[in-house]
Amino acid sequence: MSDPTPIEILIEDPWFLVVNKPVNLLTQALDTIPSLQSQLIQQLSIPNSPKPFIGMPHRLDRMTSGTVVVARNQRALRRLCDQFAARTIVKEYLVWVSGQPAKQGTWEDYLRKIPDQPKAELCSPDQEHAKPASLEYRVLATRTDPLGQVESLLMVRLGTGRMHQIRLQCSSRGFPILGDKLYGSRSLWKGAGPMAGDDFRESPMALHAFRLTFHHPKTAERIVGQTNPSADFPWGTPQSWLTEVCE
């Protein structure tokens, strides 16, 4: 097996890294399964030196790309985890969906993980394991697909961080994320761009972690980590067009 493509490091600091997670890669996994964590450890290892510390204060789904902050020591990991728990970290995503939501809005629901399934569902507040989920969004652009169906590009800001939250909150309102077969998308991976011909165990989704805003775990300085999605997002959107709508 060939060596994996190096993980792009967006910000490098003695206390943390901000990196760009590619699609088709778990954030964290057992040692025998490739993951963002294991690849970073391998990438940053120095011969005859101790293994570098790489702590994961949050995760992205396997088929979600984008901005991830990584702790480089235990104290940084604890302080970043505290920020996520306190919801002081701002998490913004770019999302292509089927349909055309209102220009902007706030969605609030209760979600829970379905027992023994890798899936979540909407539920009532009094159901066991129900957790509140909220997000704000605005529509950046719309377009029409080859079949004449409207598709919309959203900027989503998460208020909470639940399992499959954006995926479920979009699909439950009739706006499934492009490529998200688990939650009802009929717009599947078409093999465009640099990933054409790749054999994925899951379909790539048009869901990208665009920007993270947090405080430095030592100095409390405000840090903004941001990366535009690849040219494949979704299925061949021109990078120049994405850069224009994200400014």
* CATH number for 122: 3.30.2350.10
Strand-strand pairing, 207-215 and 65-71: parallel
**Does the residue 223 lie in any domain?**
yes
- Each residue of 22-38: pLDDT tens digit? 999 999 998 889 999 99
**Does the residue 20 lie in any domain?**
yes
Q: What is the Cα–Cα distance from 207 to 237, expressed in whole angstroms? A: 13
Q: Is the distance from CB of 205 to CB of 177 less than 8 angstroms?
A: yes
Q: How confident is the model at residue 186 (pLDDT cuts 50, 70, 90)?
A: confident
DSSP 127-183: STT-EEEEEEEEEEEEEE-TTS-EEEEEEEEESS--TTHHHHHHHTTT-PBTT-GGG
Q: What is the Cα–Cα distance from 159 to 165, expressed in whole angstroms? A: 10
Q: Is the distance from CB of 108 to CB of 133 less than 8 angstroms?
A: yes
- Is the Cα torsion angle 24, 69, 182, 153 positive or negative in sign? negative
pLDDT the model gives residue 238: 72
Q: What is the Cα–Cα distance from 59 to 182, expressed in whole angstroms? A: 19
pLDDT the model gives residue 1: 40
How many structural domains are present in the chain?
1
**Does the residue 231 lie in any domain?**
yes
Average pLDDT over residues 83-109: 97
**Does the residue 1 lie in any domain?**
no
**Does the residue 123 lie in any domain?**
yes
Asked whether residue 2 carries a pLDDT value surpassing 50, the answer given is: no
Residues ≥6 apart with Cβ < 8 Å to 1: none
Q: How confident is the model at residue 3 (pLDDT cuts 50, 70, 90)?
A: low
Q: Give the whole-number percent of the chain exceeding pLDDT 90.
A: 75
- Each residue of 169-181: pLDDT tens digit? 999 999 999 999 9
Strand-strand pairing, 131-144 and 104-113: antiparallel
- Each residue of 37-95: pLDDT tens digit? 999 999 999 998 999 999 999 999 999 999 999 999 999 999 999 999 999 999 999 99
Q: What is the Cα–Cα distance from 76 to 81, expressed in whole angstroms? A: 8
* Residue-range definition of the domain harbouring residue 71: 8-242
**Does the residue 236 lie in any domain?**
yes
CA 47 to chain centre: 32
**Does the residue 3 lie in any domain?**
no
**Does the residue 247 lie in any domain?**
no
